[in-house]
Amino acid sequence: MAGKRGGSSKKLLHALDLDGIASTLRNVSLPGKALTWSRFCGALSLVLTVQLFISGAAMCLYYSPAPGTAYDSVDFAMFSLPFGSIVRGIHYYSWNLLLAVLGLHLARAFIIGAYKRPREPVWISGIIILLVIPLFIITGDLLPWDQKGYWSTQVRLSIISSVPVAGDFITRALRGSSMTGIVALTRFYVLHILFLPLLLSCLIAVHFHFLARRGIAPSLKNSNSEVSRVPFLPDMVNRWLFLFLITTVILAAISWYWPAPLGDPADPTDSSYVPKPEWWVLFLNQLVTIFKGPLMIVGSMIIPGGVIIAIIALPWIDRTPDRHPMRRKGVMIVGAIFIMLFFLLSIVGYMEHHGPLH
């Protein structure tokens, strides 16, 4: 039977002219170290991205991108369709977890000096992927057309419009009219389900391309030792599938018990609503709070932009070939200060908006 099945699949692949690709994939192998726990974040990021694509596609089947019906369509999909709240919950918790996992992935790459020659393109494509994810969140936030999404978007557009030269243009391009209405919702929707997924897919392909060409960063302990290799198909793919299954079950269980939030329907006339910044943006919100008035651009653009440029340029700033963190004390101290400031601003922001200082 097994032989027959194998024969059938070979025939099918041949008929589809895919036998060459299948054979290539079977010959691809990876260092055994690629499957260790310390590299777990990369695989989990990929799995969560796939979760987001699948759950997002499922939600699209019932979503209506117009202010009068968007909220009701999300409400219907969540509470009237079987497993609707679980699908939206998986989508919601996946992006929250993805941001944190990508943050850890970046931190690990920084600590082991994985950005160094010859892996600069891997580092840069990874940073760009990390910068694209918030665009998904910003565009996705408006789609349910609830109070939180609507007023968070208003705040974000107001911050964007404060950027000199391009701010007004970007705001008008996103909003499409003087008010955040049907044109803005349509544009955010198309960006969220079409342009951004295309961009992210391309970036992931580029990231993997350079990863395959330049190789994964070897271990710090025995970088020159010969490592065992494992086949991409089926070992790596099976692990991804197993991780996908486990993640789906866990996120579904969480979503069943704590459905993704859906606030009150948006009321554009209710200017008394003050949106609370979400956890991932608390540090940025604090920066904007510190630099008020004409200095707002320092918190909203100059500091975040400077940090992003510095992170992208890291392979050229830290040019020593040594990757061990103990022998890169200067870079590590700067990195540690940055991480401490990130957490400090986030904690203060959390206390102000969600905690005892609220």
Which is closer to other proteins, CB of 171 or CB of 285?
Answer: 285
Residues forming a β-bridge with 146: 265
CB of 329 to other proteins, least distance (A): 25
Burial class (CB in 10 A: 0-12, 13-18, 19+), 25: middle
Q: Which is nearer to other proteins, 68 or 305 (CB)?
A: 68
State the Cα–Cα distance between residues 297 and 167, nearest whole angstrom. 11
Beta strand 229-231 with 29-31 is: antiparallel
Phi, psi angles (nearest 5°) of residue 6: -60, -40
Min CB(90)–other proteins separation in Å: 12
Q: List contacts with other proteins (CB under 8 A).
A: 36-37, 40, 44, 71-72, 75, 78-79, 85, 92-93, 96-97, 99-101, 104, 147-148, 239, 242-243, 250, 254, 257-259, 261-265, 267, 269-270, 272-273, 276, 278-279, 350, 354, 358
Nearest to 273 by CA among 97, 114, 151, 130: 151
Closer residue to other proteins, CB minimum distance, 98 or 160: 98
Residue 215 region, left (φ>0) first, then alpha (ψ -120 to 50), else beta?
Answer: left
CB atoms within 10 A of CB 230: 16
Q: How far is the CB of 126 from other proteins (least distance, A)?
A: 18
Q: Which is nearer to other proteins, 130 or 262 (CB)?
A: 262
Rounded least distance, CB 345 to other proteins, Å: 15
Distance CA 224, CA 149 (A): 51
Smallest distance, other proteins to C-beta of residue 168, A:
30
Q: Which is nearer to other proteins, 263 or 325 (CB)?
A: 263
